[in-house]
Amino acid sequence: MLRLFIDGAKAEDVQQGQLGDCYFPAAMAAIAKRREEAETRNQAESLVNQTQKFLADNDDKVPADVKSKVEAAVDEAKKALDSNDTATIKSAIENLSSVSQELGQAIYAASAAESTPASSPDSSRSDVMPSSSNSPDIQA
C-alpha cells in the first residue's frame, strides 16, 4: 500500500512544484486544511456548550466575578466561531479552557465549604473519649 502522508495530511505537507502543476497534492492539502478547520470548530462548539451547561447547572455556587469572566469567554468563543478564522477560534478555545478551570475551582471550593460543618469542634462530640482522672496511665 502506498501512503502519501504519514500521521495524517496537513496543508503544510504540500509545496507547489517548480512548474506549479501539482493538482492532486494541492487538492490533498486543501482537504487536510478543511479537516483541521472542522475539528477546531467542533472542539470550540463542544467547549462552549459544555461550559454553558456547567454554568447553568451550578449557577448558585459560582461567584459573580467568575461568572462574568466565563460568560465573557463564552461570548468571545461564539464571536470567533462566527469569524471562521481558525487562529482566532484556537485562541478563544485556549481562553475559554483557562476560564473554565477557574469555574471548576470555584464550584469545588463552594462544594467543599458546604460539606464542612460550620460549628467548631468541642468536647460534646460523641466520638471523643472523655478524659478521666481515674484512668490509669499506660506505660509501655
**125 has pLDDT over 70:** no
The reply to whether the predicted model has a pTM over 0.75 is no
Q: How far apart are CA 10 and CA 5, in angstroms?
A: 8
Phi-psi region of 9 (alpha: psi -120 to 50; beta: other; left: phi over 0): beta
pLDDT band at residue 138 using 50, 70 and 90 as cut-offs: low
- Residue 33 CA to residue 64 CA, distance in Å, equals 40
* pLDDT confidence bin for 103, thresholds 50/70/90: confident
pLDDT at residue 109 in the model: 87
Q: How far apart are CA 16 and CA 18, in angstroms?
A: 7
Give how far Cα 112 sits from Cα of 60, 107, 116, Å: 14, 9, 6
Q: Bigger pLDDT: 127 or 92?
A: 92
Residue 30: pLDDT band (50, 70, 90) is confident
- 4 vs 36, residue with greater confidence: 36
Predicted local distance difference test score (pLDDT) of residue 88? 95
Question: What secondary structure letter does DSSP report for 12?
Answer: G
Q: Of 37-51, 58-72, 116-130, which gets the smallest average pLDDT?
A: 116-130
Q: Tell me the backbone φ, ψ of residue 97, rounded to 5 degrees.
A: -60, -45
